[in-house]
Structures are given as C-alpha cells and as structure tokens.
Chain A
Amino acid sequence: MEMIKLTIDKKTVEVEKGTTILKAARKIGIDIPTLCHFEMCDMHIENKPGGCRICVVDVEGRKNLAPSCATEAQDGMVINTHNIRVLNARRTVLKLIISDHPFDCLVCSKSGNCELQNMATKFGIRDIPYQGEKSTYRKDTSPSIIRDIDKCIMCRRCEMMCNEVQTVGALSAVNRGFMSVVAPAFEMDLEKSPCTYCGQCVSVCPTGALTEVDHSNDVLRALSDKRKTVIVQTAPAVRAALGEEFGLEPGTSVTGKMAAALRRLGFDFVFDTDFAADLTIMEEGAELLDRLGKFLKGDENVKLPMLTSCCPGWVNFFEHNFPDLLDVPSTAKSPQQMFGAIAKTYFADKIGVDRKDLVVVSVMPCLAKKYECQRDEFKVNGNPDVDFSISTRELAHFIKQANIDFMELPDEDFDNPLGESTGASVIFGNTGGVIEAACRTAYELHTGKTLEKVDFHALRGMEGIRSATIDFDGLPLNIGIAHGLAHARTLLDEVRAGKSKYHAIEIMACPGGCIGGGGQPFHFGNSEILMKRAASIYNEDASKTIRKSHENPQIIKLYDEFLGKPLGHKSHELLHTHYFDKSDEVNIHHD
C-alpha cells in the first residue's frame, strides 16, 4: 500500500493513499467537526455527500476551501483546519443552517441528542444575523415515524440509509434550491411510500426531522387506569442497550435493573419477549422441519428456503417488494405478537381478566413494531393483542420522568409464567441469533440426539450476508443470513430466480439485527457500540443454564396445558399468520 505524508495544523501524518483529509486528521487527534458526514466503519455504511460544508479546511495552494470528508489527502499537502478563514466560513455556514431551522429546541424531541444543537454549542453561536424566510413543510405522521422536516438540514443520511443500506427507496431529495428536502416521492405521506418503518432513518437523523411516534403517554394513561391490568414484555435487544441512556458503558447488560424499573413504573406483571422467542422457535423450528421433510420427499407444493418472519420491517419489505414470494417466509408470528396472543388468551384466563381489560405493552428496539401491533390481523374484535409498543429510548425517558434512580436499582427477575426464557431466545437480538436458536432446537428434534456444542460460531458476525452449512447428523443444512434490507434483497432475488442454495434464511431489516434497531439509543455512527451490544447478548446466552428453547419449562407447560403441540390446531389459530400483497398500497413502480 502506497503511503503519503501530509501536514495538518503543523503536525505531520502518514496515511495510506486514498485516505480523506478528515480521516488523516483524526489519526493524529485533530477532530474536524462534521455534520452531514456519517460512517459506520466495518459495516460498509458511509454518507459523504459533501453537503453541509462544516468540515471545510484550508489547503495551501488551493483556490477554495476543501471539504475534508470528501477530499483525498495528497502527498505533501499542507492543511490548516482552524485558521480565521476556516473558522469564519464554518461559523457562517453553521449560522446559515440554523437560520433555516426552527428555534424550538426546548420542546424538540431530539433536544440533548441533536447534532446541530451540539455543533452550535461547540461553536458558541450566540446570534443569527440572517433573519429571513424559513423553509416549512407539512408535518407527516405515520404509525411509526414522524417527519417534521422543517428540521431537515439535507445531510442526506436518511436517504443513504433508505436507498443504499436498505434499498427501500422511500426517501430521497425532492424540490430544488431553498425548498430542497428529503421526502417520499411527490412529497406524499410516508404511509403511502414503500417505507418499511425500519427506522434506520431515525437512527441516523442528526436533528429532530425524523423521530419515532411516542406512545409513552398512552402507557402512562393505561397504568393509571385502575380497571386495567397492565403487563409488559421486553425484547432481547433492549437489555443490551438501555444502560447507555443512563451513562453505562455500551454492552452493559441491564436485564435485572430493567425488570426492577418496569415494576416500579407500575406494571402489574413484568414479562419477557424472550419467552415468546422460545415459543417462536418451537413453531418456526417445527415448520422448518415439516417443510424440509416434505421437500426432501419430493413434495412439489413445499417451497424452500424457509425465511424467518420475526422482523416486522422485513415483513413489510417483502409484502411491498416480493408479493410473488409470500409463501416463502415462515407463517410464525413475531415474538411480540406471539406474546400478545398468548397473554390475551392463556394468561388472561389464568388470572381471570377479560382481554379488554388487559393491556399489553411491549418495549422494543424497533419502530416497525409500532406498526406491527396495529395490523388488523393481530386484533380480536378490534382489540389488539399488543396494545402499545414503545422503544428503548421511550422507556428510558419514562424511567427518568418517574424519578427512578436506575443505577441504584437492584437486579430483579421477570414474573412467571411469561418471563421464563432460555439463552436461545436472548440471541434473537443479534443478526444470526434466530437461526442459531432454531438450529439448536431443530437439530435435537430432527436427530433425536443431544446437541453438545450449542454455540454455532459460523452463524455469528457482522458481514452483511453470511452462509454456513450445519451438519444435521448427515443432512447438510444450508443456512443463509442477511441483515440490512439491501442484503435481504440480494438473497430474495436469488430465491425469485430459483437460484437460492439455502434451506433456511434468517433476515433482519436493521444492520446488526435488533441491537441496531431504529428504536435503540443513538449510536451516532459508532459501530463499536453495536459490537458491544452484540457481545453482551452472547454473554447473556452463555450465562444461562438452559440454552435451548424446547427445554424452557414454562414453554413445555404451555404446550401441555394449552397449545397441544407445535403446528397444532391452537397454534395455527394463535401463533401463525399470513401475508398480503401490499405492492399496490404503496408507491412502488413494478416493471
């Protein structure tokens, strides 16, 4: 690799040819401020439109200032990152951006996490001398995401996520000049766009232009209603990230404190979505074995590969884009919805409460879950199986509002029966986790043998598409894994073309899986945070005594008392669903 030498702020640095000035400067501790630039190293995600012009630097011999994020360092360059020319330009541009931004920081949901606000603080901006027109737009609220694009600064991060990382194509820059903004085609509502509600746009938005629909007030209202029994379920990925909101190191697992906090918030029962994840494995694993068995016998009505169906963003994606492949994903509901269905039948009966008086709240790392729980097929006479879904961030706000000193909370356990879980269910939060959990169970059910090594390292990692062949006692099972919808699309295109080599595929919409979900604490592009969350999840799995879903005693009991057997009549009624061709409902052009 060719190395080059350059001087930045009188310091010399040697970097590989092709390195940007920004990265060269960071290598020697010079942190040039950036606003539109966004990068998640190791995950091949980068946004550098060179649009905000905050990161400009003065390169000797160059006519104008250079955007350091997009300019390649050259051998012998002499660069100044903070002379008066640069600082004046940077401050002026920042003031211009703020001059076209609402001044409602006090009541903005992004306040405190806003990168524009932080930048203004860093530069000590005290006045905006440019008092002119502001670009204003219609506010757009969808089931999961609010677009308040008066606050859009055209960093284009959401556009990059939506188009390059997710290939969803719901958002792109529209209009020209001063009215330019990122929006769905023809500035239609997000609900009419091919948006999957994955929330990756929200994850990366530097301002309050894209935020989640906040349901915590609905939850508060339910909790204060004496007629209601309010129960809560928490997804596996939440416990790996919630601590970050309270200043804990990323990757600190806060399962016990979270359970304690939920109890103090007043939930009548504190349950775990992990329980439902184990249930999902029972159903999905059985479905896989069933389909595999028929397929191997030459049944032409059975299609392989079977795709996982836990991820609601992913379900929306294939309903919009692959309506011809609706019979490919597993019919098993997601853990959130399995939990709701069991809670409002089995559990409601157990405690003698009518389903109308039982409020099921879910805490999810995900924004698409808000949409999922509102789907008509998950309601009984208009009463949803899951009433409200709040994100990890919303839960953190909720805890802070309730004056709970999170750090001082003792570790507490979940309640039973719907709080019992295994290591297999915890790893649902990571990319590859669902299929690994399924393999643990399917192997034992298929072979009748005990699985000695439950850790399938071949299925783990952060590569966008991974594959592994698992030996099911002589039957080589080809597993595919994709996270990020662009990668999902690649595997789906193979399936559509009849060229897929896989028997089973796990797909998660968000990069990293649920740990990187749209409802998680903001990672600000630091992919190490995702790695640490993933590690914390695998640690929690390893620390469990029971690590296979079918060994969960409460699951065994549930089948004994209520469901019968996986794929049985009751299971079909409560735990399985079907999919819809929604390509016409959204603005997608089909060839």
Chain B
Amino acid sequence: MAKIKSLPELVYMKKELEADMAKFEQHVHVCGGTGCHAAQSIALDEKLKRIINDKGLSSKVSVTSTGCFGFCEKGPIVKILPDNTFYTEVTPNDAREIIDHHIVGGQKVDRLLFLDPVTTQRVSDSEHMDFYKKQHRIALRNCGAINPENIHEYIVRDGYQAIGKVLADANPQLTIDIIKKSGLRGRGGGGFPTGLKWEITSKVEADQKFVVCNADEGDPGAFMDRAILEGDPHSVIEAMAICGYTIGASKGLVYIRAEYPLAIQRLQKAIAQAREMGLLGDGILGSTFNFDIQLRFGAGAFVCGEETALIHSMEGNRGEPTFKPPFPSVSGYLGKPTNVNNVETFANIPAIINQGAEWFASIGTEKSKGTKVFALAGKINNVGLIEVPMGITLREIIFEIGGGIKDGKKFKAVQTGGPSGGCLTEQHLDIPIDYDSLTAVGSMMGSGGMIVLDEDDCMVSVAKFYLDFIVEESCGKCAPCRIGNKRLYEILDKITQGKGTWEDLERLKNLCSVIKDTSLCGLGQTSPNPVLSTLENFWDEYVEHVEDKKCRAGQCKALLYYVIDEDLCVGCTACKRSCPVNAITGDKKQVHYIHQDICIKCGACEEKCAFDAISIKLEHTPKIVENGND
C-alpha cells in the first residue's frame, strides 16, 4: 500500500473505493465479534465465501466478517444488505440455504429471522427490530458495518478524514474548541469533559507528552470497549492521533487487557495498516506531524482502569493508584503530561470532527451530550450491546430495546455502573439517563454495565456479589478499601447466612460511609454503592434476612427451610433414617418434624420421602416438640 500524502488524496481514494464497493449487488455481513466467534462464526464466514465463490458470485456478492452487531444473545448474526435482513443463530449448515434461497432466489429464510419474544412474530429486517429502533450508533457506527481488518473499508466510511481536517486546519485550539463545544464527556465512567482535559494537557509545557487509550475494561459483564476495538479499531487510532496533534504528543499507548486477544490482534493489524498508508508514523498525511502507537498489555486488574494505577502499570510498577494531584495531564506516564481517555470516548472523536460539534450536541440532554454504549445483561430478553442517546429512560432500554424481562417474570431492579454503581428500582425507570441523574439517585453511569434483575434475585446477595468482586480487585494500598470492603463482605455474608443482627446493619451503614469518605481512589470511594443503594431501595429485604431469617427470593440457602407437611407425612421414618445430622424426630406412624437449628439443608430427606411430604419453604413456624430424641 502506498502512503497517502494529503487530505484530497484520501478523499479521492475514498471515492474510488466507494465505486469498487458499488459493484456488489449484495453484501453479506457475518459477525466476527468474540461472542459470535465462539459460536463458530469463522467457519460460517468461510463456508459462505466458498459457496459464493463456487457459484461464481464473487463479483456480485461480498462476504465480510465484521465487528459486533451487539445482538450477542442470538449470535452468530448474519446481516444481508441492502435489505437489512437480519438472521440470528446461524450455523455453518445454514450457509447454503441462505445463499440459495436469499442471495440467488431472493426469498428470505424465514426460520432464521429474529423471533420477537413479545409478539412471537418473525421480524423481516433489523429496521423493524425493537432492539435497534431506539438505538443511535455513533461510537459503534462501524461495528457490524465494516471489516475491521481492512483499512479500506474504514476509509470508505470517511475514515481518517477527521485527522486530515485537523491537520489541514493546523490549529489545535480549534480542535479543542470543537470537542469542548460538542459537550463530550469521558465515557469510562468519570464523565470529565474531554475537551477540557485535552486543553489542560495541551497547555502544560514539556519535551514529550503522551496520549493513552484506556482499554482496561474491567466491569463484570461489560464489553463495550472490546466491541469497538474488535469492530472498528481505526476509529480509536485516528482519534488518538487527533488527540496527539491537539495536545502536542507524538506517542500514543493503548493499555489493553491481555484477555482480549482478538481486540489486540485487530488493533495490531490496524496499526500496521495505518503505518503503511502514512496515517501513523512520521509525517502523517504529508504533514510534519509525527505520531505512533504502541500497545501495553494489562494483566486484568480492575483497579488498573483508574488512570494513575494504569500509568504505574504501564511503567512496570505495581498497579495501584496514587494521590491526585498531580493529575496525569501534568505528570503522568514517565512523569510527562499524559492525556488518558477511554476507548468509547475516542471512538466518538472522528464523528464529532466530521459531523460537527452542533450535530453531536444536539443529541442527548443538557449536560450529557451524545450517546452511551451499554452492555445489557441479566434477566432480560435481548442481551447485548446497545448505543442509545443520553436522556433515554431505563424503561425504554429494558422494556423496548431489551424486550422486557425473561420468562414473564417481574422486574425488580437494574444495576448500572458496575461494581461502583448502584441498584435502581421501578421508581427510577422513567428518569432520563445521564451522568448527573444517575449519580443523583445513588448509582452512576460508569463505563456502561447494565444488569437487569428480576423477582428471583436476592438484593443482599447482589450486594454481596459486587463486594466479593471489589475484595478481589482492591489493590490493597489504602486501609479502608483493603480491610473495610472485606469486612463489608463478611457482614453481608453473615446476613445471607441468617446470622445477621441489627448491629450488623448499623455497622454496614457506618462502614459504607467511612469507606466512601476515606478511600484513596475511585474504586474505594464508590465500592460501597451497591450496598448503599440496596440498603436504600431494598431495606425491607435486609430486615427480612436479619429479623425474619427469610430470603424472599429464595437465593440464600441458609434461609431455606425443609418442612414436613403434616397432612402428607405417614411416619414411615425414611427421612429420619436418611438425615446425616439427626435433625428429624418423630415416632413410627407419627408425623415427623425437622429441627431447623440442626438441619444442614442437604436435601437428603426430600429425596427419600416417597409421599412428597417434604418441601422447601421460605418460612417456617417453629413448634414445640416433645420427646425429641436429638
């Protein structure tokens, strides 16, 4: 590939490539994201290509392995353009039918179309799917639309024109002003205005500055950044170069977790291609601007998403945060001014430059502009990756895009913001989502994890789950986070074991407030949020666990009771003999009784009872039993 030496040359190239693309009558897009990869999408892609080739259709039909469509629940996905037909759960065995019926015969393969769980109807194309109707894809604009391993496809979609414009303007402050005016805020969770961050870093004098892309995505269940890097790596590369030019940095680093092999591979490929075409390296697009990118691999520590910890990790030191100030914009990597932005933040930049600050600012709410990508998970019909305009409500996300709760169960809560966020309830479903409104109700935007919970979820256990994660992931540097979160976890565990007391509830509250108030970094300062928000919104459940020894969701094993139905028990003694801890008393031909203080809930009695007299109950009424032989 020859180097592109100017913006006009790039635009010309785009037009030529576009004309090439127009030669195809149909395009087959096969999802090549990690989820679909795991479900054999590579074999599917290869088979489709082979059949197209065998049939001599190669000049009319293109087959492309793309990035993630977001609809991971039903992968592998195959989308056919121009009619946007959306096939789900496609296997390599379906390849021939798709080509014979659809590509050649012009008939959609009905059985592979998406089945709407609410209407139970097949949906003809993605335009008519509720999952996509309310989405607005900016950061994900190219995911599922292009082959991420081919820089030409990115160029066709205006790729690298933004850096071209920025270099042609030759006015870094102008670029900063565009970003500031767009209202873009950091998508990693903090929500700091991106333009302002760039401006601060640009004003610090130094012989060397760095642009760092934070691709250390660590929230459980979140994969926004992975999808972008796998599906559209060039948008991040282009944005980093723009940032480099703006702040005066010639070096960029992507801190990416080693658990993302596909993202790493595609990013490396994309960097190599960009270098080859003169879009990275010395004299980008014929200018005097030099910028190159290196990768740094993280070992999967959640705290390394915190920017100071990330920088220490890149330097080869222990991944732990340090006190701010100094902020990285003043003293970051190797002590040099460093601008750290998240993957999704970067992915928005080329679109903002190309389409203007006003366009971007017209989307979203007053203080939160643009869109946000969420990883939708949990007890919801349409699990996957979505990008929605700021200001959308949780109700729209869960019940329209997400298709409602699975198996017709009742919605209970939605956890946003990952381990740092909180659990919101029915009463929060209609607030417009943005940085400030989520914080105001005790949760946070975070990096975009969104886990939906239904009536079968125990809220104390949910809080415990997140604390377990935090205890694992605390770096251990400051005492409140290192020890406090461990103690929080232990108290929650005690409560789910049915051993909690009112004093424990008081201790929980005090510990939460002290950990928030005294922890060193954002991880500790937000770690009690899952506890605080469940205490606030689900106080009754805590009280039930402590006072009534009851878990209404039936999740806490220690709070389940094996009970003998007096009407069904014939006194055969089979249960009594099967009990390994002698928790059952009762004479032959008399109704038996299970002593709950002895029972270890092994279930052996239930299994042995031939009369279905033993069942699990959420509550039990203790009775006074005489002649107990235990």
Contact = CB atoms under 8 A, between A and B. Distances in A.
A70 interface: yes
Q: Which among A50, A99, A178 has the highest number of chain B CB atoms within 10 Å?
A: A178
B520 A133 contact: no
Interface in B518-566: 518-520, 525
Contacts of A175: 476
Nearest to A129: B507
Majority DSSP secondary structure for residues of A touching B: loop
Contacts of A180: 475-477, 482
Nearest to B516: A64
A586 interface: no
Given A92-B511, A130-B507, A154-B482, A65 B476 contact: no
A188 interface: no
B490 A51 contact: no
A132 B482 CA distance: 13
B471 interface: yes
Interface in B472-496: 472-480, 482-487, 490
Contacts of B507: 129-130
Contacts of A64: 516-519, 525
Contacts of B325: 72
Contact of A96 (B471, B477, B484, B520): B484
Interface in B492-519: 503, 507, 510-511, 514, 516-519
B479 A154 contact: yes
B476 A53 contact: no
| Chain A interface bracket (under 10, 10 to 19, 20 to 34, 35 or more) | 35 or more
Majority DSSP secondary structure for residues of B touching A: helix
A177 B490 CA distance: 14
A64 B528 CA distance: 14
Q: Which among B476, B483, B485, B486 has the highest number of chain A CB atoms within 10 Å?
A: B483
A154 B476 contact: yes
Contact of B514 (A93, A99, A154, A176): A93
Closest 6 CB pairs of A and B: A180-B476, A132-B490, A177-B474, A96-B483, A92-B514, A53-B518
B487 A99 contact: yes
Contact of A65 (B318, B485, B503, B518): B518
Contacts of B511: 92, 130
A130 B479 contact: no
Nearest to A50: B323
B301 interface: yes
Contact of B323 (A67, A129, A154): A67
Interface in B423-476: 471-476
A93 B472 contact: no
Contact of B486 (A67, A172, A177): A177
B320 interface: yes
A441 to B, nearest CB: 46
A144 to B, nearest CB: 26
Contacts of B477: 49, 51, 154, 173, 180
A153 B482 CA distance: 10
Nearest to B319: A176
A33 to B, nearest CB: 14
Given A50-B478, A52-B478, A177-B474, A100 B483 contact: yes
Contacts of B514: 88-89, 92-93
Contact of B478 (A53, A88, A129, A178): A53
B176 to A, nearest CB: 26
Contact of B476 (A70, A130, A178): A178
7 contacts: A53-B478, A64-B519, A93-B514, A96-B484, A133-B486, A154-B476, A180-B476
A544 interface: no
Contacts, number: 108
A64 B526 CA distance: 11
A70 B322 CA distance: 10
A175 B320 CA distance: 11
A51 B479 CA distance: 6
Nearest to A94: B479
B487 A132 contact: yes
A50 B520 contact: yes
Given A130-B483, A177-B482, 20 more contacts: A49-B322, A51-B477, A53-B518, A67-B520, A92-B510, A92-B511, A92-B514, A93-B479, A93-B518, A96-B483, A97-B483, A130-B511, A132-B487, A133-B486, A173-B477, A176-B472, A176-B474, A176-B476, A177-B485, A178-B483
A96 B517 contact: no
A178 B517 contact: no
A179 interface: yes
B53 to A, nearest CB: 51
Interface in A108-148: 129-130, 132-133
B479 A178 contact: no
A177 B518 contact: no
A93 B519 CA distance: 10
Contacts of A67: 323, 520
Nearest to A172: B318
Interface string B405-423: 0000000000000000000
A313 B518 CA distance: 39
Given A65-B517, A154-B476, A154-B482, A176 B490 contact: no
Interface string B311-348: 00000001010110100000000000000000000000
B475 A177 contact: yes
A172 B320 CA distance: 12
A466 B63 CA distance: 73
B518 A176 contact: no
B520 A93 contact: no
Nearest to B486: A178
B510 A88 contact: yes
B418 to A, nearest CB: 17
A507 B517 CA distance: 46
A70 B514 CA distance: 19
Interface string B53-83: 0000000000000000000000000000000
A89 B518 contact: yes
A53 B323 CA distance: 12
Contacts of B471: 177-178
Interface in A141-188: 153-154, 172-173, 175-180
Given A96-B487, A129-B507, A53 B472 contact: no
A27 interface: no
Contacts of A70: 323
Interface string A444-456: 0000000000000
A241 B556 CA distance: 61
Contact of A177 (B473, B479, B519): B473
B492 to A, nearest CB: 11
A56 interface: yes
A53 B473 contact: no
Contacts of B519: 53, 64
Contacts of A97: 479, 483
A52 B520 CA distance: 9
Q: Which among A65, A100, A176, A178 has the highest number of chain B CB atoms within 10 Å?
A: A176
A264 interface: no
Contacts of B483: 96-97, 99-100, 130, 178
Contact of B479 (A53, A72, A179): A53
B480 A53 contact: yes
Nearest to B303: A176
Contacts of A375: none
Contacts of A179: 476
Contacts of A130: 483, 487, 490, 507, 511
Contacts of B503: 129
Q: Which among A52, A89, A153 has the highest number of chain B CB atoms within 10 Å?
A: A89
Given A89-B514, A92-B514, A177-B482, A53 B520 contact: yes
B487 A173 contact: no
B517 A173 contact: no
Nearest to B318: A173
Contacts of A132: 486-487, 490
A85 interface: yes
A133 B493 CA distance: 12
